Chains A and B, each alone.
Chain A
């Protein structure tokens, strides 16, 4: 190997990736930080001036900001709860012997492969629409008043749609982890008289803990930046009821053209994500050693 890959050759091979990612990480982020200290609106070009922390204080005192933080957390926690609990249940179910296991797996995985705009529009129009949606039809079948999901429970609707997309991810990973559980251990526990419940609590759950952590951390990274699902369903509304931090920054930048304010919001989003990323990186770092 040494002749083929001398150290400098290896460096040369790694260099393009490192340089590209370095540029990608530093240049735009530095610009965002710079913009965040400017009063800069695209509708008033040439009027840029240093604004100190006023963009941050604007953002941090905007009631919409707190709503957005709340909504961001609600989406992350709501979806995590549904997908982790549902994912464990589904993984346990799919791990049982059955007929046509492969096909059921394929059915369950499917939502994860659907592009976000399609997933959101299907749910919005064909299921949650209060006039022509399937849910409205079911409600009428039982003599109930159809519920206008997106108008009356916008945040919950978004959570449901996103959870539908991510449930397969959690299921698939937990199922993969479950299948690596030693069959003999399960049998030994059974022979020692452990019931199904205590086998789950003392054997299966600890075995899954690593996979669950991975699911939680990776999903959190993606769920912090839910965007397309909100854009095509509620557009952040009514009001700001379903606006998360990503959507708020998008609206500030591309609808209000407030470059300075949006940049400050972007930096806040980066800081939030970094806190999560810190834990995720440590987790993955450990697996590198293993």
Chain B
């Protein structure tokens, strides 16, 4: 009897949760579906959910009209570039702070985090002028520099919390067993550090890919990543729902998939380790 009640309850919970989940996800599903419709079907009334003539025409159109691939590659270069450079700078720092902390380490960490609290708009004017005067405006290099700087504190923090979990005793044990320094690094430290580095990489690529303040303000055409490119659909072109949907689907799909694989890291990274 008790078992029966709990199964019933489970079914009710399942139905409610799935309904809410689908409702929350619906705008994305709708965009995905619309991207395969013709423009006429996209605004048809009543709208059709699945039963329409599926076409991939919009995807060709988006590419041929506006060189979508260029903007996609800009996004790739900017997000991966800023993440990799950030990691190269951050790994030694986080490593040193995790394994040979001083009494000021905590203050340094807190201070680094505080730079993240500065609202971007507070430095918009000088950044814009500096970029204009140095020719960095609308270049991939410029955007990589800015995104590296704004995400560096998060990278250091995430790495720090991961490195902190590597037990120092293991190193001592390895040394007792006669491991040389290079062996120690290759066989003991690296394997333990890699999962943390990978999660940090993943989260930061997501953040950089979706960053939409500096990319919108500092890029226009040739270096525009997808955030800026999609923003150009805000007026009249946005009325072409099917093309907007196709462009959007391609822009969000890679990150959606990456994000689903890194749910746990998302929580940890975005709360600076405060919630695990």
If A28-B123, A218-B270, A280-B117 touch, does A126 touch B234 (CB 8 Å cutoff)? no
Chain A residue at minimal CB-CB distance from B106? A288
* Distance, CA A94 to CA B271, complexed state (A): 20
The segment out of B50-58, B59-67, B91-99, B192-200 that lies at the interface is B91-99
- What is the interface residue range for chain B against chain A? 35 or more
Assess the A269–B259 pair: CB atoms within 8 A: no
**CB of A63 closer than 8 Å to a CB of B:** no
Interface string of A1-41 (1 = CB under 8 A from B): 10111010111011011101100110111011001000000
Interface size class of A (residues with CB under 8 A): 35 or more
Is A284 engaged at the interface, CB distance under 8 Å to the other chain? yes
- Residues of chain A within 8 A of B115, CB atoms compared: 21, 24-25
Q: How far is the CB of B245 from chain A (nearest CB, A)?
A: 8
Interface residues of A in 262-290 (CB under 8 A from B): 262-263, 265-267, 269-270, 272-274, 276-277, 280-281, 283-285, 287-288
A115-158 with Cβ < 8 A to chain B: 115-119, 121-127, 132, 134, 137, 140
Inter-chain CB contacts under 8 Å: number: 312
CB distance from B93 to the nearest CB of A (A): 4
In the complex, A51 has a CB within 8 A of chain B: no
Contact among A17, A109, A176, A254 with B89 in the assembled complex (CB-CB below 8 Å):
A17
Q: Which of A73-81, A184-192, A198-206, A220-228 contacts B (4 or more CB under 8 A)?
A: A220-228
Q: Is the interface of B mostly helix, strand, loop or mixed?
A: helix
Per-residue 0/1 for A96-127: is the Cβ within 8 Å of any B Cβ (1 yes, 0 no)? 11111101111111111111111101111111
Q: CB of A259 within 8 A of chain B? A: yes
Contacts of B96 in A (CB 8 A): 5, 9-11, 13-14
On chain A, the residues within 8 Å of B124 by CB distance are: 249-250, 253-254, 262, 266
- Known A-B contacts A262-B125, A287-B274; A13 and B117 likewise in contact (beta carbons under 8 Å): no
Q: Measured between alpha carbons, how far is A98 from B47 in the docked complex, in Å? A: 32
A172's nearest neighbour on chain B, judged by CB, is B267
B127 touches A28 (CB 8 A): yes
Residue of B nearest to A114 (CB): B252
CB distance from B163 to the nearest CB of A (A): 12
Complexed CA–CA distance, A173 and B273 (Å): 11
Known: A32-B126, A94-B17, A115-B210. 13 other contacts (CB 8 A): A4-B181, A17-B93, A29-B122, A110-B28, A114-B252, A117-B230, A125-B241, A126-B27, A126-B244, A254-B124, A269-B121, A273-B118, A284-B272
Q: Measuring CB to CB, which residues of chain A are less than 8 angstroms from any residue of chain B?
A: 1, 3-5, 7, 9-11, 13-14, 16-18, 20-21, 24-25, 27-29, 31-32, 35, 90, 93-94, 96-101, 103-119, 121-127, 132, 134, 137, 140, 164, 167-169, 172-173, 176-177, 210-211, 214, 218, 221, 224-225, 227-228, 231-233, 235, 245-246, 249-250, 253-254, 259, 262-263, 265-267, 269-270, 272-274, 276-277, 280-281, 283-285, 287-288
